[in-house]
Amino acid sequence: MSKAVVYTGADPTVADPTYDSDDDSENEDGELWGEWQCDEEVTHVTIADGVTEIKEDAFRFCKGLTNVSFLKGSAITTIGKQAFGSSSIVSLQGVEGVRKIGKYAFSSCEDLRTIEGLGCEEMGESCFMWCMLLESMKGWPASMTVIPANCFWYCTGMTTVDCDLSRVTSIELNAFAGCTSLLPPSLSDRDADPAAVLAFLKRKSFLERAPLRYAIYACVLAARKQEGKRVAERRRASPLAARIALLPKEMAREIVEFVHGVAQI
């Protein structure tokens, strides 16, 4: 059964006193719930005029809610803590006007695959943790220079960084812990050196945005897989050197650093 609701930005309501207080779906303080929290019939949402904030836990555990495109064109500028946590959204759209996203706002959204037009200026930690189907870090906001702690914790499906990270100056601890499809084992481990993770991601981001990026990146991967072979054999087997020769020198240097870890051009 589906339900269309109008979100009014109401303050959290008192929880049902018969609810099991040991259940991990309950709010941290065990008393206050979001306006539609745990209502699995909610599938469509309209934002009331003048509402600027999605309150804490508002749609947490709304398993029938599959997208948040209803934010597009609304006055919403703030998404509160855990507002959509553990919901079933598959695509995050319409968030261009959102300037602040609270902790765990989209954590454990296990169906979330794409994020479009992220324009925020402030983001709490663990925003997208356990979004295991999220495939790409796309369109990171230019105004944000720090990637928060645990931000993409165990986003195991993430494979690409389709955005320019040149303005990012640091990432906090475990921002990409468990991202085993994105990072090598040493950098996807818990407590991996944040500076090393950022350096790797910047190189990866550069490659994925470069001209001929798909052909070049395929060559890079092929070269990395041949690390156990003799250098001469690797050169004959991979067109990496020929591809690099076609690129501007600065770009070629970035690619060689990505493969070998040090500049060789």
pLDDT digits (tens, 9 = 90+) for 200-224: 999 888 877 765 555 566 666 665 5
pLDDT digits (tens, 9 = 90+) for 72-82: 999 999 999 99
Among 157, 177, 206, identify where a domain stops: 206
Nearest to 87 by CA among 119, 45, 49, 47: 45
Examine the pLDDT at 14 and tell me if it is beyond 70.
Answer: no
- Together in a domain, 54 and 98: yes
Residue range of the domain that includes 231: 210-265
- Together in a domain, 75 and 192: yes
pTM equals 0.76
Buried b (16+ CB within 10 A) or exposed e, 105-122: bbbbbebbeebeebebee
The average confidence (pLDDT) of the chain is 82
pLDDT the model gives residue 194 = 97
Q: How many domains does the chain have?
A: 2
- Together in a domain, 131 and 173: yes
20 vs 204 pLDDT, higher one: 204
Among 174, 206, 238, identify where a domain stops: 206
- Together in a domain, 123 and 225: no
Among 206, 227, 248, identify where a domain stops: 206
Contact by Cβ (8 Å): 59, 87:
yes
pLDDT digits (tens, 9 = 90+) for 30-45: 556 777 899 999 999 9
